Every structure is written in structure tokens, then in C-alpha cells.
Amino acid sequence: MLRALLLENLHPLASSILAAQGIEVITRTGALDEKELIAALDGVHLVGLRSKTHLTENVLAHAPDLIAVGAFCIGTNQIDLGAAARRGIATFNAPFSNTRSVVEVALADIIALTRRLTVLDKSMHAGVWNKTAEGSHEVRGRTLGIIGYGNIGTQLSVLAENLGMSVVFYDTSEKLALGNAQRMDTLDELLDAADIVTLHVDGRDGNAGLFGAKQFARMRPGAVFLNLSRGFVVDYAALAESIQSGHVAGAAIDVFPVEPKRSGDAFESELRGLPNVILTPHTGGSTEEAQEAIGQFVANKLRDYLATGTTTLSVNLPNLALEQTSGSHRLAHLHRNTPGVLAAVNATLADHGVNIEGQLLATRGELGYVVTDTGSAVDPAALEALRNMPQTVRLRLLF
């Protein structure tokens, strides 16, 4: 029986989908450190996690039974994707499922900061009635600067325009501007123009330290700042200084360089206690709707990979869209992408009297993935010969 380990309090729907396929599911509410994770992965074929559990090369080296990883979130920087690919471990994430939830909380933060609702709320809870319009503005007519114009950035762009905002954006990749959004050629141009700056970049190493003292100084006086992307892209000490000096009027931060592993653990940050600062515990995509959608999407990807070999939207393996086929056997052969592999696979099958009914091949960098449907049984000798090919990374007989 296949076993799945689901960590970090994933939606119950993920467990239900996998269990319905006859997979034994083990659930844990919190994240695990490296030593705990190595022990927990003994005999486990599938692992599901979110952002706090790190699948390092060392962990993967100690998990020989692992077939696939599900990142029940957008980011995958917590997983060594290269090490997983070299071991034939498919990795899937949820690139779209919580987009709306992040966009909605970004809009809520923008309005709250621009109206200084955090300051007014704190005064009221302290028993002080301080009715004033000082420093409070409508978002209509103000300019939103979006850094990172991907799935979240583009949807935020459209909804912000519907609120009457002007939108400028900056992205290192060529992106189509939606609505009336205007692309900025440089980050500095965006900072010069924006009343609100919001980060929606991915977790690639090149984004580390993207936003620091220089960028905060370049922002317009009285502008507000949001980061709902990755904690390591921002120098929060520099942000704290900019808020304390009054140059930045407020901030909403959802992600941090170091985050507690479990709910209830202590949280420390130089941003605590600062005026007009909203701090949330990495919950930008954490709505019940988003978590249900993510649980369903990623669990279905894991289920389909096991059942049919389909790798559509895998972030580290060649992508093939496959359907269940009746009346045949299916071989999924992941290999190093060198010349002659397909011919060698077919020659091996022919040598063992295996007739090929259908075959698909995809490549991705150093890896190739060929899936073969056969019209006759595949004897163990043929499987052993394929496994012993020098290019073979992983071979699976699916049905």
C-alpha cells in the first residue's frame, strides 16, 4: 500500500482524495525540522506540505521511497527541485488556487493603510475618541505600483482599477498590461510614481534583498508599502526606520525571513508596535475557500500522477498530459536526456516481445520522460533491463 504524509494542517479534502485511491494517509498539523522529517518519511511515497517544511537535498537523499511531492501553496522555494528531479520525484504546486484570496487581502490592506484604520482602531481600543481626517485618503485617484505582474499582480491590477486607482507595474519578464495599467521600465520609475507599493514576486534566489533602504528612500513621502510575497526579499530593519522617520506612512506585511513553525509559537520582528503597520502570520492565501481549492487541486495532481503518469504543471519534470487507457500496460520512464534513449527503450521492449500501442515523449533540460502503452504484458526481465539502462532515473509500471 502507498503511504502519504500530509503536513502543516492541510485541508481535509486532500486526505479524502488520496484515501479514496487506497492510499494510507498520515496527517500532522505542524511543520517538521530536517531530522524529524527524515524520520517521518521512512516508508512514505507521497508528501504534502506548505511553506514551513523544507525538503532539502539531505532529506530527499534519506527518502528512497518518495515518488511525488505536493506543495499545497504557490511557492516551491522550500523544496530542492533539482535534487527531487534527479531522484525522479515529481513536484506539484497550486499556482492559481489562492490568487483571489491574496488579492482581496491586499486590497483590504491598501484601504486600511490609506485610511489609517489601524491607528484609529488602536485609539478606540485605548478608550480615546479621536475623530480626524488628518492623513486619511481615498484610494480613488491614487497610483498603485505593483512589483511582480504574475497571476496575483495582474488580478490585483484589474480590481484596483475598478476602485478608481491608476496602476503601474514592474516585472523583469515581458508581461501584457491589462486594462489601463502602465509598464515601468525600471523599479525606480515605479517608485517615483506610486503612492502604494506592493510586492508580488516569486521565491527565486535572485529576488533576495530586492527591496532595502535605497528603495524605501526612493519611495514618495507618505507612500505605503505591502509585502505579501516572500519574507527574504525585504530588509525589514530599513522599513522600520522609514516608518519611524515618517517617510513611509504605513505597511502591511504577511511574510517574514524567519517564521515560527507552529501556531502559538513566539513571533519577533522589528516591525512590532509601529504605527499604521499591519502584521499578519503568512495568511494572505489562507481563506477556507482557497485552502479547499488548493487541497483539491494538488491532491488531484498527485493522484493523477500515480494513476496515469501525467505530469501536467509539474514544476520540476517534463510535462505530459495523459489519460487512463484500458486494455494495456503503461510504463513511465524518466531518464537523463541524452541522444538515443527512446531508441534504446523501444529496442529493449522489442527484444522482450513487447508490442507498443502508443508512446509520448517530453523533455525538460537534463531530463526526458517517455510514457509507453503496451498491448501485451511486460515481463520482469524487460523491466529490469530498462531499470539498468545508464540513463534511467526512475521507471514505474503503472498498470
User: Does residue 76 contact residue 94 with C-beta atoms inside 8 Å?
Assistant: no
The predicted-structure confidence for 86-100, as pLDDT tens digits, reads as follows 999 999 999 888 899
User: Does residue 327 contact residue 374 with C-beta atoms inside 8 Å?
Assistant: no
What CATH number should be reported for the domain holding residue 114? 3.40.50.720
Given a cut of 90, whether residue 262 has pLDDT beyond it is no
Verify that 196 and 154 share a domain, yes or no.
yes
pLDDT of residue 328: 81
Continuous segment of H or E residues that includes residue 134: none
Out of 34, 104, 189, 259, the active site residue is: 259
Indicate if 272 belongs to the active site: no
Q: Over range 164-177, report the average pLDDT.
A: 96
The DSSP line for 106-120 is: HHHHHHHHHTTHHHH
Confidence band for 204, pLDDT divided at 50, 70 and 90:
confident
Q: Mean pLDDT of all residues in the chain? A: 95
Q: Over range 261-286, report the average pLDDT.
A: 92
What CATH number should be reported for the domain holding residue 348? 3.30.70.260
Which of 279, 306, 334 delimits the end of a domain?
Answer: 279
Verify that 326 and 241 share a domain, yes or no.
no
Verify that 30 and 127 share a domain, yes or no.
no
Residue count (the chain)? 399
Among the listed residues 309, 369, 378, the one whose alpha carbon sits nearest the alpha carbon of residue 348: 378
pLDDT of residue 326: 62
User: Does residue 356 contact residue 346 with C-beta atoms inside 8 Å?
Assistant: yes
Confidence band for 203, pLDDT divided at 50, 70 and 90:
confident
Verify that 267 and 336 share a domain, yes or no.
no
- Structural domain total, the chain: 3
> What is the share, in percent, of the chain residues with pLDDT greater than 70?
99
Task: Evaluate the CA torsion angle 302, 392, 344, 398 in order and state its sign.
Answer: negative
Out of 50, 230, 330, 333, the active site residue is: 230
* Range of weakest confidence among 70-74, 250-254, 260-264, 282-286: 260-264
Question: Is 82 strand, coil or helix?
Answer: helix
131-to-23, 111, 246 alpha-carbon distances in Å: 59, 18, 21
Task: Evaluate the CA torsion angle 253, 255, 261, 262 in order and state its sign.
Answer: positive
Indicate if 161 belongs to the active site: no
The predicted-structure confidence for 263-272, as pLDDT tens digits, reads as follows 888 999 999 9
Given a cut of 90, whether residue 376 has pLDDT beyond it is no
Which of 227, 259, 279 delimits the end of a domain?
Answer: 279
Among the listed residues 230, 252, 229, the one whose alpha carbon sits nearest the alpha carbon of residue 239: 252
Non-local (6+) Cβ contacts of 5 within 8 A are 26, 28, 40, 41, 44, 46, 47, 48
Amino acid residing at 124: M
Verify that 236 and 351 share a domain, yes or no.
no
The predicted-structure confidence for 210-224, as pLDDT tens digits, reads as follows 999 999 999 999 999
Domain span at residue 37? 1-98+288-317
Verify that 324 and 261 share a domain, yes or no.
no
Cα 135 from Cα 223, distance rounded (Å): 11
Write down the H helix ranges in the chain.
Answer: 12-19, 34-40, 57-61, 81-86, 99-114, 117-125, 151-162, 187-193, 213-218, 236-245, 288-308, 341-351, 380-387
Verify that 117 and 260 share a domain, yes or no.
yes
pLDDT of residue 74: 87
Verify that 89 and 186 share a domain, yes or no.
no
User: Does residue 181 contact residue 161 with C-beta atoms inside 8 Å?
Assistant: yes
Verify that 144 and 134 share a domain, yes or no.
yes
Cα 381 from Cα 361, distance rounded (Å): 23
Question: Is 347 strand, coil or helix?
Answer: helix
Placement of cell 513566539 in the chain: 266
Verify that 108 and 217 share a domain, yes or no.
yes
* Range of weakest confidence among 117-121, 144-148, 180-184, 353-357: 353-357
Three cell numbers written together for 248: 513611509
Q: What is the 3-state secondary structure (H, E, C) of 303-331?
A: HHHHHHCCCCCECCCCCCCCCCCCCCEEE
Out of 115, 116, 220, 282, the active site residue is: 282
Verify that 112 and 135 share a domain, yes or no.
yes
Confidence band for 206, pLDDT divided at 50, 70 and 90:
confident
Cα 291 from Cα 34, distance rounded (Å): 25
pLDDT of residue 327: 63
Among the listed residues 219, 269, 272, the one whose alpha carbon sits nearest the alpha carbon of residue 246: 219
* Range of weakest confidence among 116-120, 317-321, 323-327: 323-327
Verify that 92 and 104 share a domain, yes or no.
no
Indicate if 28 belongs to the active site: no
The predicted-structure confidence for 228-261, as pLDDT tens digits, reads as follows 999 999 999 999 999 999 999 999 999 999 998 7
